[in-house]
Amino acid sequence: MTDVKNGAKQVSAPDAAEVDDGELDEGLFDAPERGSADELLDAGAHTDLDAMRHSTAHVMAEAVIDLFPRTQLGIGPAIADGFYYDFKLDRPLTPADLAAIEERMAASVAADHPFVRRELAADEGRAFFVERDQPFKVEILDDLAARAKADGSPMPATTVYDHGPFVDLCKGPHVASTGKIGPFKLLAVSGAYWRGDEKRPSLQRIYGTVWDNQDDLDAYLWRRSEAKKRDHRRLGVQLDLFSFHDVSPGSAFWHPKGQKMWRTLEAEMRRLQDRRGYQEVSTPILVHKKLWEQSGHWGHYDDNMFRVEVESQTFSLKPMNCPESTFIYRSKLRSYRDLPIRYSEYGRLHRNERSGTLSGLTRVRQFIQDDGHIYVRPDQLADEIEALLGEVREAYSWVGLTPRFAFATKPDKAIGDPALWERAEALVKAALDRAGGDYMVKPKDGTFYAPKIDIYIDDALGREWQMATIQADLVMLPERFDLTYVDEDGKQQRPIAIHRAIYGSLERFIGILIEHFAGAFPLWLAPVQAVVIPIADRHNEAGQELAGVLRASGLRVEVDESSNRMQYKIRTAQEQKVPYMLILGDREIEGRAVAVRRRGAAKDEPQETLGWDALAERLATEQREHRID
């Protein structure tokens, strides 16, 4: 069960967010406990810009209360690129409401109300918010009081900030007055649970953004629209890579070009794995539930598994490969000399993700993972993990990404002998230290059966994504499936099982690459690497001949034999983001040459004319070396 993030949104949330709501950073930066009263009050204002963003949230709350007097206030923190505020309202907000709220906010900014900090005695503060029918604020105060009592510290005063007619419970800091607020824009309204708890009331969250000056705001809005253009769901249609259909929600239909990318990524990974001594296996998709009972997943995770009843027996579609890999390991007696045994598997997995969470390729119900299970002796673990980190670096270099590593340690809900855990963590840490380079530590973020190394990347838009994972499992597979090998002394020993996925989910990986490259893939990965463009019909035959030469060098080439003009063919190839356009007219054919136009070439870029064989060699080299534009 290599625990890839099938789903999991990237760490800084997408688009409408570009926002990172802070809470997602938990663990990474040791943020306060989710939804704690301190955090709710603190509102994330740590810089001047944050203070302004948080102040803007206050102004927005003022506007909302003004327009909807019975509104109950949740919290309104600063977040990456902006702010939000949660409200309980009598009716759902519409885009027209946002415009009206913006207008009121502008009036408040124009009035330049000073922000005034006041301290009230605890009971006075509570009474104030009770009187104003603000139960969420009262709850925060009650929590603070309860915590003070538990700590034996004195009852804290209630800090409020006023600006104009509006008073809010808040620790601050704020800008001096509403006039200091820069250009802002409200972006979206969405639902959010009070304190992130689905059992608590559902509030309406308004997201907004605010910047020091108009240029910064414009730049941000431009980034947003760029991100939208790169959206893999949009490019997937435009580039004819995949589609989704309601007959199988959350599962992609791969079109020929998307499938070509898939096969290319897989082929490259297989080459790496062959070199590293992996042996590829394949295990059944439909599996009896007793397997999951043995592994410990049934009962805990069966909600996420698709069940299939067959002749009154319960089966499920596998949500992970790992338990089945042990059947192959156990199919014969293993010697210490046999280890490490490295099994790879491109297994098709199904996870029943909740309907509201599905999203394009990055959150799916069916996906294929470049999974691997490596069985090692304890003395081999550190070397193997170090080698795996190298595999990750190599694979990510093919697409020009630099992986960052995070060491996730034993969670509270862990199973197994604490001594085994200590040993596993020490070995993983040793491997990370030896592999050099920095890594973050994410305490208690391991899986319930293994400490792990999670791999992150930043894409071309600076967004962080969690990708690969490496897990050192001394407990689940080895113990629950009773794995053994015979050591030098003829004694039975437990191997360690490493679960690892490098691309992770191929679906998700491709989705991220689409956005990272904005669809303009490097040559080696592009589904169509070159289009031959005959200028007139009489050049078609030579075009096919040229395509044949290139295909013989292992390149993916098409010939545009349509009756369109050359200009139109170029435009089409450009829109399809084909790396090379090969233009063939009388002049070129005469010398068995071709005019080479690079995708996205500048207007004044000098164009080369190359012989066919020289071109084939050049492109083949570029492909082999995974060159990136």
Q: Which of residues 28-87 bind RNA (CB under 7 A)?
A: none
| Choice from 131, 151, 198, 309 touching RNA (CB under 7 A) | 198
The candidate with the shortest Cα–Cα distance to 347, out of 297, 295, 292, 282, is 282
d(Cα 449, Cα 78) in Å, to the nearest integer? 36
Residue closer to RNA (CB basis): 158 or 316: 316
Q: Which of residues 490-529 bind RNA (CB under 7 A)?
A: none
Q: How far is the CB of 13 from RNA (least distance, A)?
A: 5
Task: Classify burial at 586, counting beta carbons within 10 Å of its beta carbon; exposed 0-12, middle 13-18, buried 19 or more.
Answer: exposed
Q: Catalytic site residue 371? A: yes
Q: How far is the CB of 202 from RNA (least distance, A)?
A: 4
Catalytic residue among 113, 373, 597, 599: 373
191 lies in the site for RNA, by CB under 7 A: yes
d(Cα 52, Cα 82) in Å, to the nearest integer? 9
Q: Catalytic site residue 369? A: yes
Residue closer to RNA (CB basis): 174 or 442: 442
Q: For residue 462, how many other CB atoms are within 10 A of its CB?
A: 9
The candidate with the shortest Cα–Cα distance to 317, out of 296, 286, 290, is 286
The residues pairing with 107 across neighbouring beta strands, listed in sequence order, are none
- The 3-class SS string of 125-167 reads HHHHHHHCCCHHHHHHHHHHHHHHHHHCCCCCCEEEEEECCEE
Q: How far is the CB of 72 from RNA (least distance, A)?
A: 14
* In contact, 596 and 582? CB cutoff 8 Å: yes
Q: Catalytic site residue 516? A: no
**What is the per-residue binding string for RNA in 447-476, x denoting contact by CB under 7 A?**
xx----------------------------
142 lies in the site for RNA, by CB under 7 A: no
d(Cα 580, Cα 345) in Å, to the nearest integer? 34
Q: Which of residues 219-248 bind RNA (CB under 7 A)?
A: 231, 233-234, 237, 244, 246
The terminus-to-terminus CA distance of the chain in angstroms comes to 36
Residue closer to RNA (CB basis): 243 or 492: 243
Q: How far is the CB of 175 from RNA (least distance, A)?
A: 25
63-71, 194-202, 253-261, 482-490 -> range binding RNA (CB under 7 A): 194-202
Take residue 267 and report the two structure tokens written for it.
Answer: 């082929």
Q: How far is the CB of 112 from RNA (least distance, A)?
A: 31
Distances, alpha carbon 374 to alpha carbons 339, 354, 442, 501, 507, in Å: 9, 31, 24, 11, 23
Q: Catalytic site residue 499? A: yes
- # binding residues, RNA (CB under 7 A): 80
d(Cα 289, Cα 293) in Å, to the nearest integer? 6
* In contact, 221 and 185? CB cutoff 8 Å: yes
Q: How far is the CB of 450 from RNA (least distance, A)?
A: 8
Take residue 106 and report the two structure tokens written for it.
Answer: 């502008």
* In contact, 439 and 403? CB cutoff 8 Å: no
Catalytic residue among 58, 88, 113, 351: 351
User: How far is C-alpha 115 from the chain's CA centre?
Assistant: 39
Contacts of residue 315, defined as CB under 8 A and 6 or more positions apart, other chains included, come to 286, 287, 288, 289, 307, 308, 309
* In contact, 534 and 543? CB cutoff 8 Å: yes
Q: How far is the CB of 37 from RNA (least distance, A)?
A: 16
Q: How many CA atoms lie within 13 A of 175 on its CB side?
A: 23
| Choice from 153, 312, 331, 567 touching RNA (CB under 7 A) | 567
d(Cα 302, Cα 211) in Å, to the nearest integer? 46
Q: Which of residues 11-30 bind RNA (CB under 7 A)?
A: 13-17, 21, 23
d(Cα 467, Cα 455) in Å, to the nearest integer? 5
Host H or E run for residue 427: helix 418-435
d(Cα 461, Cα 508) in Å, to the nearest integer? 17
User: Peptide bond preceding 403: is omega within 30 degrees of 0, i.e. cis?
Assistant: no
563 lies in the site for RNA, by CB under 7 A: yes
| Choice from 47, 202, 214, 313 touching RNA (CB under 7 A) | 202
Q: How far is the CB of 243 from RNA (least distance, A)?
A: 8
| Choice from 37, 455, 535, 542 touching RNA (CB under 7 A) | 535
Q: How far is the CB of 378 from RNA (least distance, A)?
A: 22
Residue closer to RNA (CB basis): 215 or 575: 575
SS3 for 621? helix
566 lies in the site for RNA, by CB under 7 A: yes
575 lies in the site for RNA, by CB under 7 A: yes
Q: Which of residues 348-367 bind RNA (CB under 7 A)?
A: 351-360
Handedness of CA 445, 438, 422, 480 (dihedral sign): positive
Q: Which of residues 385-404 bind RNA (CB under 7 A)?
A: none
Q: Catalytic site residue 351? A: yes
Catalytic residue among 370, 371, 445, 454: 371
Q: Which of residues 331-350 bind RNA (CB under 7 A)?
A: none
* In contact, 620 and 555? CB cutoff 8 Å: yes
Residue closer to RNA (CB basis): 460 or 536: 536
| Choice from 581, 615, 616, 619 touching RNA (CB under 7 A) | 581
| Choice from 33, 70, 92, 606 touching RNA (CB under 7 A) | 92
d(Cα 424, Cα 415) in Å, to the nearest integer? 13
Residue closer to RNA (CB basis): 234 or 270: 234
Residue closer to RNA (CB basis): 46 or 200: 200
304 lies in the site for RNA, by CB under 7 A: yes
107 lies in the site for RNA, by CB under 7 A: no
Residue closer to RNA (CB basis): 110 or 536: 536
| Choice from 68, 220, 301, 336 touching RNA (CB under 7 A) | 301
**What is the per-residue binding string for RNA in 582-621, x denoting contact by CB under 7 A?**
-x-xxxx------x-x--x--x---x--------------
1 lies in the site for RNA, by CB under 7 A: yes
> For 104, phi and psi rounded to 5 degrees?
-65, -40
**What is the per-residue binding string for RNA in 149-188, x denoting contact by CB under 7 A?**
---------------------------------------x
**Residues marked as catalytic:** 322, 351, 369, 371, 373, 452, 499
